[in-house]
Amino acid sequence: MRTSSLLFSVILIVLLFHSCGTPQPDSEQPNQETTAESSVENLLLKDHRPVSLYRGNEHPVPQAAFPVIDMHSHPYAKTEAQLDEWVKTMDKVGIEKTVIQSYRTGAAFDSLVRVYSKYPDRFILFCGFDYTGYEGDDFGPAAVQELERCFSMGAKGVGELGDKGKGLFYSRPTKALGMHINDPKMKPLIEKCGELGMPISIHVAEPIWMYQPMDAQNDGLMNAFKWRLDDQQGIVDHDGMIKILEDAVAENPETTFIACHYANTSYDLSFLGDLFDAYPNLYADNSARYAETATIPRTVNRFYSRYADRLVYGTDMGMGEDMYRTTFRILETADEHFYDRNISSYHWPMHGYDLPQNVLEKVYRSNALKLLDLVP
């Protein structure tokens, strides 16, 4: 009897030990497998950062195939030291000249002239339009006078003008909300640009996704949501903005226009192609739309081959060495399915256009030399 009692006690102690030391299946403590499942299930699309596993198509381009004229940049360098560093980067990657789209007039433009005149052979300044008093019937003469003054200070063109649907708002210090590039009040300024040989770089609209509902069907949602325009009241829509650009180009055949970012027609480049066919005074830059077009490399290759005389290279994405090299890789190689988070916040991978050498030379420099009247 005593032996049985002792054995029962030992068994009870063992059971209690295992019960306390080992979590039971219905315990609230999560195991590693459950935690992993939960983290994936709760992953937000904006936090998805896939890494391409495809191998055998990595062809970095440390330097462009030809000396490049970057037709779309901004005054990123704020100090002399930053400017010096920028020039060193340009030398490394093969950027011969950079066009600074300043937006500015008056004293603000003059201050940029002083800063960037340290490298007169490397930087070209574009000024803005002075919209002061644009609401009045007497607008025009003073703005033309300021344009001529900026030209005398070295401005080679005007830009970047900007209109996403509410009016011209990029120029500083004064915006012209409610007035578009095709407004009759703009005619004297545009005609003066033609007389002075100053091309006008203008940003119209935004990629089509920004105008569409922010829902599960929006193809470019990850980037579109940041720059959304679908919730803006009284805004001119995408088609309307392209029509405004066309009106201005058609009404001013003696003035050269450069539509920034492919006129934001990346989703259907035939719109831009039709404008090229109709108006010889229209060009376009490819700045800051590499991610939008690197999804359709064969279409883009055909487009560049057909309109090689009307396209120019631009960045609009800072002054980083890696940024430049990614743009070269997209333009020059046939690489497939790669990512670069520095120039893209879309969910899709990018693919190279694989452009031929004769097209690259025109896009990188020949067309820009013509536009800037720098051809010997």
pLDDT tens for the 376 residues of the chain, in order: 444 444 344 333 333 334 444 343 343 444 444 444 458 888 887 788 788 877 778 889 999 999 999 999 999 999 999 999 999 999 999 999 999 999 999 999 999 999 999 999 999 999 999 999 999 999 999 999 999 999 999 999 999 999 999 999 988 788 999 999 999 999 999 999 999 999 999 999 999 999 999 898 888 888 888 889 889 888 999 999 999 999 999 999 999 999 999 999 999 999 999 999 999 999 999 999 999 999 999 999 999 999 999 999 999 999 999 999 999 999 999 999 999 988 888 889 999 999 999 999 999 999 999 999 998 6
Q: How far apart are CA 320 and CA 82, in angstroms?
A: 11
Task: Please tell me whether residue 300 adopts helix, strand or coil conformation.
Answer: helix
Q: Are 330 and 353 in contact (CB under 8 A)?
A: yes
Q: Identify the structural domains of the chain with CATH numbers, from first to last.
A: 57-371 (3.20.20.140)
Q: How far apart are CA 376 and CA 196, in angstroms?
A: 18
Q: Does the pTM exceed 0.85?
A: yes
Predicted confidence at residue 65, as pLDDT, reads: 98
330: burial class by Cβ within 10 Å (0-12, 13-18, 19+)?
buried
